[in-house]
A and B are shown apart, each in its own frame.
Chain A
Amino acid sequence: MILVFARWGLYCFAMTSSSSDSRSLSPVIDVHGLAKHYRVADKQEGLASSIRGLFHRKSRTVEALRGVSLTVEPGEFVAILGPNGAGKTTFLKLLAGIITPTTGAATVLGHVPWQRHDDFRRRFALVMGQKNQLWWDLPAAESFRLHQVIYRLDRQRFEQTRDELVELLDVGRLIHQPVRELSLGERMKLELIAALLHEPEVLLLDEPTIGLDVVAQHSIHGFLRKVQTERGTTVLLTTHYMKDVAALCRRVVVITHGRILYDGTLTEIIDRFTTHKIVTLDFEQPPSETTIAGWGYPCERDGPQVRLRIDRERIAETLPRILAGESVLDVTVEDVPLEDVIADLFRAGRDEYALAETASGGQA
Chain B
Amino acid sequence: MSGMATFSWQQLLPSWHGWTTMLSINVADRLAHRGDFFVGTLFRFLPIVTQIFLWTAVFSAAGSELIAGYSRNDFVAYYLLTMMARSFSSMPGLAGGIARSVRDGSVKKYLVQPIDYVGFLMAARVAHKLVYFAIAAAPFGLMFFLCRGFFPPLPEVPTIAAFLATLVMSFLLGFFLEATLGMLGFWVLEVSSLIFVYMLAQYLLSGHMFPLDMLDSITLSSSGYSLGDLVQLLPFQYTAYFPCAVWLGKIQGQELVSGLLVEAVWVVVAAVACRIAFLRGTRRYSAFGG
Contacts and interface: CB of A to CB of B under 8 A. Distances in A.
A98 B111 contact: yes
Interface string A81-110: 000000000100100111110000000000
B6 interface: yes
Nearest to A131: B106
B18 interface: yes
Contact of B28 (A115, A116, A138): A138
Nearest to A38: B288
Contact of A100 (B5, B14, B286): B286
A149 B17 contact: yes
A137 B114 contact: no
B111 A122 contact: no
B166 to A, nearest CB: 31
Nearest to A112: B2
A99 B287 contact: yes
Contacts of A135: 25, 29
A150 B13 CA distance: 11
Chain B contact residues, majority secondary structure = helix
Contacts of B105: 129
Given A116-B2, A121-B113, A122-B114, A149 B22 contact: yes
Interface residues of A, number: 36
Nearest to A90: B290
Interface residues of B, number: 33
A203 to B, nearest CB: 12
Contacts of A114: 2, 286
A126 B112 contact: yes
B131 to A, nearest CB: 14
A127 to B, nearest CB: 10
Nearest to A155: B17
B194 to A, nearest CB: 18
A76 B2 CA distance: 28
Nearest to A121: B114
Contacts of A116: 2-3, 5-6, 111
A122 to B, nearest CB: 5
Given A99-B287, A116-B3, A131-B106, A149 B14 contact: yes
A98 B2 contact: no
A122 B5 CA distance: 15
A150 B124 CA distance: 13
A152 B16 CA distance: 11
A292 interface: no
Name the residue in B285, B286, B288 with the highest tally of chain A Cβ atoms < 10 Å from its Cβ: B286
Contacts of B289: 99
Given A115-B5, A115-B6, A121-B114, 4 more contacts: A98-B290, A100-B2, A121-B112, A131-B106
21 contacts: A96-B112, A97-B111, A98-B290, A99-B286, A100-B287, A114-B286, A117-B5, A118-B6, A126-B108, A126-B112, A129-B105, A132-B109, A135-B25, A137-B29, A138-B25, A138-B32, A146-B21, A146-B22, A149-B22, A150-B18, A178-B32
Interface of A: 38-39, 90, 93, 96-100, 114-118, 121-122, 125-126, 128-129, 131-133, 135, 137-138, 142-143, 145-146, 148-152, 178
Interface of B: 2-3, 5-6, 8, 11, 14-15, 17-18, 21-22, 25, 28-29, 32-33, 105-106, 108-109, 111-115, 283, 285-290
Which 4 A-B pairs have CB atoms at the shortest separation, nearest pair first?
Answer: A137-B32, A121-B114, A99-B290, A149-B18
